[in-house]
Amino acid sequence: FVVGRSDTIDSLIGDGFEAIFIGSGAGLPNFMGMPGENLKGVYSANEFLTRINLMKAYKEGSHTPIQHPEKTVVIGGGNVAMDAARCARRLGSEVHIVYRRSLEELPARKEEVEHAMEEGIIFDLLCNPVQVLGNKDGWVEKVECVRMELGEPDASGRRRPVEIKDSNFLIDADCMIMAIGTSPNPLIRHTTKGLEVNRKGCLIVDETEQTSREGIYAGGDAVTGAATVISAMGAGKKGAASIDAYIKGKE
């Protein structure tokens, strides 16, 4: 069953479960909501990488073939963006990474950036997409971007990118990959009353990994947002210990 759809947290408690741990991850891809994101040839990095690496969609005769683009635009500057760009490059595509800050602010690991550059990937820095343009058949044809400049630091401590007026330009592309992060699926929080979340939709927990609902614990990306497997494993172990103490305390 799917918790939140065919069953709920409250119904599980009603069935006699004394405690529940939510480890549903943050697998919902983020998009920008700009015009043209529904065109054919627009992928989330999740879909693109999953189909290539797990489903072997790049192979000739694959049951789930993937587009072999000529020109690809990857939006984002993290490790996932580098992975997507390098995979597209290995499909034979010319690849542009569009990132709204400068090279110094790129969140990807230094070695990932260096390897991407070694493979011939083009970095369009201090740029941001504003719309995707398609052809008469509904396929991506161009990505319209605007140039940016760095202003004062924002809440993250990095200098905030500011749009330069009338600096729009076009990049030819038949494929665009969105790699700007993922969020927790809202299904559980929308079907469970009393679960507090932050502005990014991540569950809020205390030092024991307990949520705002007694007996309901959570950890991993559902709490932190997209992070590492090691971090999620640590939260799971801590949550398990807390649940054990919680149940023993009720006896």
Domain end (from 162, 180, 198): 180
- Tell me, yes or no, whether 3 lies in a domain: no
Would you report the helix, strand and coil content of the chain in percent, each value rounded to 5? Answer: 30, 30, 45
- Tell me, yes or no, whether 56 lies in a domain: yes
Contact 147, 167 (CB under 8 A): yes
Report the SS3 class of residue 218: strand
pTM of the model: 0.84
Residue 229 identity: V
Residues 136 and 203 placed together within one structural domain of the fold:
no
Domain that holds residue 137: 31-180
**Side by side, which strands form the sheet with 175-178?**
42-44, 175-178, 71-75, 94-99, 122-125
Residues 80 and 126 placed together within one structural domain of the fold:
yes
Residues 17 and 113 placed together within one structural domain of the fold:
no
- Tell me, yes or no, whether 225 lies in a domain: yes
Give pLDDT, residue 3: 72
Round to whole Å and give the CA distance between 139 and 134: 5
Using one digit for the tens of pLDDT, what is the confidence trace for 34-68? 999 999 999 999 999 999 988 888 888 888 888 89
Round to whole Å and give the CA distance between 148 and 118: 25
Domain end (from 140, 164, 180): 180
Residues 84 and 121 placed together within one structural domain of the fold:
yes
Q: 77 forms bridges with which residues in the sheet?
A: none
Q: 95 forms bridges with which residues in the sheet?
A: 72
Q: State the first-to-last Cα distance of the chain, in angstroms, to the nearest integer.
A: 30
Residues 22 and 137 placed together within one structural domain of the fold:
no
- How many structural domains does the chain have? 2
Q: Which residues have a Cβ under 8 Å from the Cβ of 109 and sit 6 or more positions away?
A: 79, 82
Q: Which residue has the tokens 């330069």?
A: 164
Kindly state the tokens that stand for 1.
């069953």
Give pLDDT, residue 2: 64
Q: For the chain, what is the mean pLDDT?
A: 93
Instruction: Give alpha helix (H) positions in 33-159.
Output: 45-49, 79-90, 110-118
Using one digit for the tens of pLDDT, what is the confidence trace for 98-144? 999 999 999 999 999 999 999 999 999 999 999 999 999 999 999 99
Residue 223 identity: V
Contact 67, 97 (CB under 8 A): no
Of 227 and 161, more confident: 161
What's the CATH number where 49 sits?
Answer: 3.50.50.60
Round to whole Å and give the CA distance between 213 and 169: 50
Domain end (from 131, 150, 180): 180
Q: What is the CA radius of gyration of the chain?
A: 21
Residues 103 and 156 placed together within one structural domain of the fold:
yes
Round to whole Å and give the CA distance between 38 and 250: 51
Contact 83, 115 (CB under 8 A): no
Kindly state the tokens that stand for 77.
């500057």
Residues 222 and 189 placed together within one structural domain of the fold:
yes
Using one digit for the tens of pLDDT, what is the confidence trace for 89-100? 999 999 999 999
Asked if the model's pLDDT at residue 5 lies above 70, the reply is no
Residues 81 and 169 placed together within one structural domain of the fold:
yes
